[in-house]
Amino acid sequence: MMHGRPSVLIVDGDSELRRCLSQALDDAGCVAVPSGTLADAIERLSGCAYDGLIVDVRLPGGDGLDVLDNALSKYPGIKCIVTANYGSVHHAVRALKRGACDYLIKPIPATQLAAAMTAVLAAREMPAATVFQAAVTRPESQYGIVGSGPAMTQLFNTIGRVAPMQSTVLIQGETGTGKELVARTIHQHSTRREHPFVAFNAAAIPEGLVEAELFGHVKGAFTGAVNARVGRFEAADRGTLFIDEVASMPMAVQTKLLRALQEREIERVGTSRPMKVNVRVLAATNVDLAQLVRAGTFREDLYYRLNVVRVELPALRARSEDIPLLASHFIEEACRVNGIGPKTLSQPALQALTQYSWPGNVRHLQNAIESAVVMSGADREISEHVLPIEVIRQETPLAAPARALGSSASALLMPATPEAGINFASAMSNIERELIVSYLHKAGGNKRRAARMLSLSRTTLIDKLHRLGVTEPAPHATTTASIEAVA
């Protein structure tokens, strides 16, 4: 620890990521020490005891796992997070077995990576109850959950009751309400906080690979399985497995997931040899699973097994009193990331933000604020004129077919062209959002059909939905935070 601040060694071959992550960690109260190669990292570890380590599995000059081993052998108390590209997940799983606290898949925002590191450092330095109390009493917790209104107070209380349990939890809420953030918070305040938190998005994996990703596979189990691979259940052993968009899971995999929850054992694809696992499962959905059960597309027995304890996240429109606090937080973050001076919202802009329904919830608001910060240029005050057009017009994107794309791209609204110029990337993001919103509307909210109409893969479309804060129509609107135990 340097000068009373926790020190974190960043080891990654990407110089831009090192720079952004160093800034994010510095803003979070840490001392960041960047390193670009394996040899340099080993040398730095020989000269200083760090509190935290963030290391990529692929480094110039060697394997990032060698850095991990070196750090843990010298300093057993060091908290380590491993990063990996999608194709390197099996390396990251090995890292968890060797003592890493967590692994995250790239690309990942530097602010999110910094938040993950500060979370594990905080869990080390403070008892879980103390950390959670800080999250409840401060408007903005160190885990990024912002809010002080009645709905969020109730949610914080719910998390406090759920976190110490070992029960399976179903987190229900619309797209953009922060389901993964809540899952990570539950994990950090649980008795499993010293063990891995592994996230798995069932909708982001091709249907034929879901089973292998979740349960692992043996060599030769299917075409392309040239090596055995550890699945997410094994990677999360003694820790927490977060399954996002669980409603997207194929029926055949639902059967195996049910067995894993009931028997606490799994089988890798290609073998019938069962393997015991000690994993707490947190599942998330943005649809009403009970409706899917009635429609015959989700197993009833699995629904009850997942729905032991339910945490419902409030939609942003149900807690509009938190919008000024959230907006202020996101303005500060956007100004810092873009290296510009502090800005404030004009009263008309704040009024427009507060009155809008925010179908994409907190993620939608965050993207709108970042766009407004950039589009406001040198102005210290953000006026309502630089807000996204749907906010100015108070329209819900997918409920506004009049704005849908016509027979040509000329039907899209052009951004304003001020004399001082605009941010091209931000303007293009707005146009991209308009296209996706239009074709999602044409496809009736069906992402697979919309992806075909846009000549995109479904996973690419999902990535864009998350990045742009676009939401599809939700059959079930959650408006309260509650905990419900199923008898």
Model pLDDT, residue 93: 63
User: How far apart are alpha carbons 34 and 53 in whole angstroms?
Assistant: 10
Report the SS3 class of residue 54.
strand
User: How far apart are alpha carbons 91 and 85 in whole angstroms?
Assistant: 10
Model pLDDT, residue 484: 40
Residue-range domains of the chain with CATH = 1-125 (3.40.50.2300), 128-313 (3.40.50.300), 339-468 (1.10.8.60)
Model pLDDT, residue 309: 87
Query: How many contiguous H segments (helices) and E segments (strands) does the chain have?
Result: 20, 17
pLDDT digits (tens, 9 = 90+) for 424-461: 666 677 777 778 887 887 777 778 878 877 877 777 78
Model pLDDT, residue 221: 57
Segments of the chain with pLDDT less than 50: 1-3, 125-143, 398-412, 473-487
User: Which is nearest to 394 in space by CA: 406, 382, 403?
Assistant: 403
The dihedrals phi and psi of 471, each to the nearest 5 degrees, come to: -125, 150
User: How far apart are alpha carbons 379 and 173 in whole angstroms?
Assistant: 36
Number of alpha carbons in the 13 Å side-chain half-sphere of residue 240: 29
- Note whether 287 and 267 are within 8 A (CB): no
Does residue 359 have a cis peptide bond before it, meaning omega lies within 30 degrees of 0? no
Structure tokens belonging to residue 226 = 């040239």
Contacts for 243 with CB less than 8 Å, ≥ 6 apart: 200, 202, 214, 249, 257, 281, 282, 283, 284
Contacts for 137 with CB less than 8 Å, ≥ 6 apart: none
pTM over 0.85: no
DSSP for residue 193? T
Burial of residue 139, with CB atoms counted within 10 A of its CB: 0-12 exposed, 13-18 middle, 19 or more buried: middle
Residue whose token pair is 């073998």: 271
Element (H, E) at 113: helix 110-125
Model pLDDT, residue 441: 76
Give 344's strand partners.
381
DSSP for residue 454? T
Model pLDDT, residue 481: 38
User: Which is nearest to 30 in space by CA: 136, 114, 123?
Assistant: 114
- Note whether 107 and 56 are within 8 A (CB): no
- Note whether 234 and 93 are within 8 A (CB): yes
Structure tokens belonging to residue 3 = 């000068």
CA dihedral 50, 196, 232, 107 (to 10 degrees): -40
